Homo-oligomer: A and B are copies of this chain.
């Protein structure tokens, strides 16, 4: 049983709390039986650690499990998962331009899987998909997603070449989504919580779209995205 926080494996686990090292090692942490099960089911390779002698994985002390976990009530198992290679685009794609809140990110991934937007492409300045709070908010749906992080302009050019139409959310000069029949291959673009989608991306839109509401205050970005994906689900 590992009991020292100076153990190299524990040091590695702790490093994976930060995006820098998740990027460097191309790996991330999953916590608890449900996340581990969903990761396994979707072919992720996992290194398991546990504080419960009856569970699979290398045994570590409860104190270390608490240290490595990021919540006040730690699970008794965790795994290090390798990120997956990019897969084929789904027909419906969710694109995120500068989303900052990990809760919004995770919620959007969860809704995207629910409505068939299995490919998600986020800008380089968006919050990390693999932030602990993002993974938690996906409720296990993260492992069903094809997650891409890339400069958006080049991706949009390539997607248009492949026949995708690009629908960008905007409060100005936009059409009510209820009045639009999206093309079979479509990209829905959501923007930053404060400033929305950047102008350079708005300029590349095939259509600007919005959701009809009673007042001028916009919806939370995760709500807006969920409604559009619900309307345009496959």
For A116, list chain B residues within 8 Å (CB). 214
A115 touches B213 (CB 8 A): yes
Residues 85-114 of A, flagged 1 when their CB comes within 8 A of B and 0 if not, give 000000000000000000100010011011
A6 to chain B, nearest CB (A): 30
* Copies of this chain held together in the complex: 2
Flag whether A42 is at the interface (Cβ < 8 A).
no
Contact of A223 among B214, B226, B233 (CB under 8 A): B226
Contact pick for A226, options B110, B140, B144, B219, CB 8 Å: B219
* Chain A, interface residues (CB within 8 Å), range: 20 to 34
Q: Given the complex, which residues of B lie within 8 Å of A141, measured CB to CB? A: 215, 217
A211 within 8 A of B: yes
Chain B residues whose C-beta falls within 8 Å of the C-beta of A111 in the assembled complex:
219-220, 223
How far does the alpha carbon of A118 sit from the alpha carbon of B114 in the complex, in Å? 28
On A, residues with C-beta under 8 Å from B are 103, 107, 110-111, 113-116, 137, 139-141, 144, 211-215, 217, 219-220, 222-223, 226-227, 230, 233
- Given A110-B220, A223-B226, 19 extra CB contacts under 8 A: A103-B103, A107-B220, A110-B217, A111-B220, A111-B223, A113-B215, A115-B214, A137-B220, A139-B220, A140-B217, A141-B217, A211-B230, A212-B233, A213-B233, A222-B222, A222-B223, A226-B227, A227-B227, A230-B230
